Amino acid sequence: MPDATNLYLFIVAALLLLLVPGPNMAIVTSHAVAHGWRAGFSAALGITLADVLMTVTVSTGLGALVMSWSPAFDLLRWAGACYLMWLAWQALKAPFADTNTQATQASMRKIFARATFNSLLNPKALLFFMVFLPQFVTVGGSSVTSQLMFLGLLLALIALIFHSLLGFCAGRLHGRLREGFIFKRLGAYSFAAVMTALAARLLMLNRPV
């Protein structure tokens, strides 16, 4: 485990980073507004799973191995963008019957999977874990691998709490506005717009030198 100073700085840095709007915040919020707080929580759980998987990848050195292969960054970037555009298309062509019914049909498991894949197919997310976690490793302490695992899992837990609260708050908006055909169309269009914007963001990423 890192020393107390590094651990304190890590928690503060993690909280500050989570407050900055980003793809994960957009995924949780858009699902919660469209389908309610349960969907937001499912998205938060999906992001957490991705964080845990990336922690394992970075801790075992696989992350550096993957990113050392030049095409890997672009392959992840394009795969993620295509997946997000597919989600946008699915939202636009879905019937505007009942928002709660749509959420049930889509199922929380699908929302969970969407959030997981969105994070895993973002090469910047993996790079973030590779750059952020090692900064708080205590030199001369326990093994680097165990410290990286601890920090990554702690970050995943902090993010889960933050995104769950965010999903709950955004879900309250869904509860107030769920009635009405206009809201259902607006919810679908808003979700599609968010997915398209995230896809565009991925396509505009440049590989770090």
Task: Give domain limits for the chain.
Answer: 4-203
Mean pLDDT computed over 168-186 = 64
Band of residue 163 on the pLDDT scale cut at 50, 70, 90: very high
Q: Which of 30-39, 112-121, 126-135 has the lowest mean pLDDT?
A: 126-135
Residue 98, SS3 per DSSP: coil
Amino acid, single-letter form, for residue 157 = L
| DSSP, residue by residue, 67-96 | HHSTHHHHHHHHHHHHHHHHHHHHHHHS--
The answer to whether the CB of 116 falls within 8 A of the CB of 43 is no
Indicate if the pLDDT at residue 30 is higher than 80.
Answer: yes
Q: Is the pTM of this model over 0.75?
A: no
Mean pLDDT computed over 68-78 = 67
Distance CA 88, CA 25 (A): 17
Task: Tell me phi and psi for residue 139, to 5 degrees.
Answer: -70, 130
Residues 6+ apart with CB under 8 A from 98: 184
* pLDDT at position 181: 46
